[in-house]
Structure 1
Amino acid sequence: METSILPSPTLPTFFSIFLLIYLSAYFLLFRNWGPNHRPEASSCLISLSHGTAAAAMAAHAILRSHKATTFASPNTPTQNTVLEFSVAYFSLDLLHYVLFFPNDVLFILHHLATLYVFTTCRYVVRHGAHAILVLLLLAEITSGCQNAWTLAGFRRAGSPAAAKLYDFLSPKFYALYSVFRGILGPMFMYKMGVFYVSGAADPVIPRWAWVSWMVVISVAICLSILWVLNLWIDWCKNKMQKKMR
């Protein structure tokens, strides 16, 4: 039987680590940033800390899965650890948005929906983590590039170096995001849907669970596609405007 390499309970430990990173960023690393960018940058840092590690952890858990693993297989200890890692991050980042940006309803709803999927998979259903972690990998593999792009965007107005980095990263990040969120994500979601609709998961995953998961995942992917599409449109407009000058 597989055992987790981390001591239990991991959720409070992970939450404490993310909280320490956030507070260090807020009070030390970004203390001279503006009142809006300071908390945003702190959130970016924990997002970077989570995303890169979560992608690696998810890949590790997927590779360790038994060959007979399906989308309805019981969660392994390693998979549960990755889920708890992400629950800790999204819980803290949700708290960040509630405290600093309570009007950012879309992000708050996104975090609540994501937490719903992770917590029900981890603590209620206790099956199906393999599929959830594949989606987590596809979502977070672009985290490093995205957060570097975001941080550069915060500083580009007052820093030529940040502006140059932002312009350099923009098309590369958009392309990477488009591939993983706009192509591979929907393809894998379709594969999940076919499996669940077939009834193969019904003995162990209640229908309300997988249906709600699919709804959340579908909405998240659609919003991601719309978001990156708008970024591409703005980028193309800016390119055309520069050529016309």
Structure 2
Amino acid sequence: MDIKTLIISPPPPLPVFFTMFLTIYLLAHFIIFRNWTPKTRPEAASCLISLTHGTPAAILAGIAIFSDPKHHFASPNTRFQNSVLEYSIAYFIMDLIHYLTFYPTDVLFIGHHLATLFVFVTCRYVAFHGAYSVLILLVLAEVTSLLQNVWTLAGARKGDSEVARQVFDKMSVWFYGVYSVVRGVGAPLFVYRMVGFYASGVADSVVPRWLWVSWVCVVVAAISVSVLWVSNNWVELFRERGVRVEKGKKVW
């Protein structure tokens, strides 16, 4: 099936996407990572569905944006854009179930998933407009997904695998660097443009003010948490590298 056919064909319903992610999660948990420890197996299963969602979602979002020649912040959602939104909604519902099951006290990630679902669901089923801005934010959020999930999987096994430890160590600088640029520079610049457009009032008839303000609040909070998270990781990285230097070990 070519891209043009994919764009104009009816999108699969949300339950189909959810069933896909649920199936991948169960396969990962009970078959692919069955030899991992009970502590790391759920995290690995979550990483696998994140890998299935992240990079494909970023690519599909880019295609969905540029397949609409009249795209702008207040454009009506195209059928293909709605399909991409449903794809992401299904993933976040599945991963939210994962966190509620295995990490119910992880309020940061649970809150993140609920807030993200609010943005996607209201864009898809309430406003029916604004997918252009939401999908660009999705691209910015998921462009580092592949690096992050490989880094996370390596980190989960670094204690009992020398290969995993080396992968984790070598990836950390590159992953933190790319993540810092995307979340610390690219995302804030786009949100600035987004706020400028919606604050002008030209889209109030299709994207109510209360809705775009809530979107911006969610995105700013997510960016702030992301920057804080990667900043803490940078601090921890240099602390660990400093300790190794003191011990006379090669760290780079």
CA contact (8 A) 2:116 2:218 kept: yes
Shift of 1:5: 4.7
Provide the identity percentage. Answer: 55
AA at the equivalent of 2:183: R
Which residues of 2 match residues 10-25 of structure 1 at below 5 A? Answer: 10-25=13-28
CA contact (8 A) 1:182 1:225 kept: yes
Give the AA of the match of 1:242.
Answer: R
Structure 2: unaligned runs, 5 residues or longer: 248-252
Relative distance call for 1:170 and 1:3 in structure 2 (3 A) is: closer
Mark the runs of 5 or more structure 1 residues left unpaired by the alignment: none
- Aligned residue in 2 for 1:53: 56
The verdict on how the C-alpha distance between 1:73 and 1:3 changes in structure 2, with shifts beyond 3 A counting, is farther
2:138 corresponds to: 136
Residues 64-100 of structure 1 deviation map (CA, whole Å, 9 limit, x = unaligned) = 121x322011001111011000000000000111111
Residues 67-216 of structure 1 aligned to structure 2 (within 5 Å): 68-216=70-218
TM-score (norm 1): 0.96
Deviations 1:18-66 (A, max 9, x none): 1110000000011111112111110000001100110110111122121
- The number of residues matched between the two structures is 243
Distance in 2 between residues matched to 1:209 and 1:9, nearest whole Å = 26
Structure 2: distance between partners of 1:6 and 1:155: 42
CA contact (8 A) 1:55 1:141 kept: yes
Q: Deviations over 1:73-130 (max 9, x none)?
A: 1001111011000000000000111111111111111000000000000001000000
How far apart are 1:243 and its partner, in Å? 1.1
Offset of residue 239 of structure 1: 1.3
Residues 6 and 85 from structure 1, CA distance in 2 versus in 1: closer, same or farther, beyond 3 angstroms?
A: farther
Q: Is the 8 A contact 2:11 2:79 kept in 1?
A: no
Once the 2 structures are TM-superposed, how far is the Cα of residue 3 of structure 1 from its aligned partner?
Answer: 7.8
**Paired letter, 1:49:** T
RMSD: 1.3
Other-structure match for 1:40 = 43
Distance 1:159 1:5 in 2: 47
Give me the TM-score of the superposition, normalised by structure 2. 0.94
Q: Which residue pairs with 1:221 in the alignment?
A: 223
Deviating beyond 3 angstroms after TM superposition, the runs of 4 or more aligned structure 1 residues are 2-9
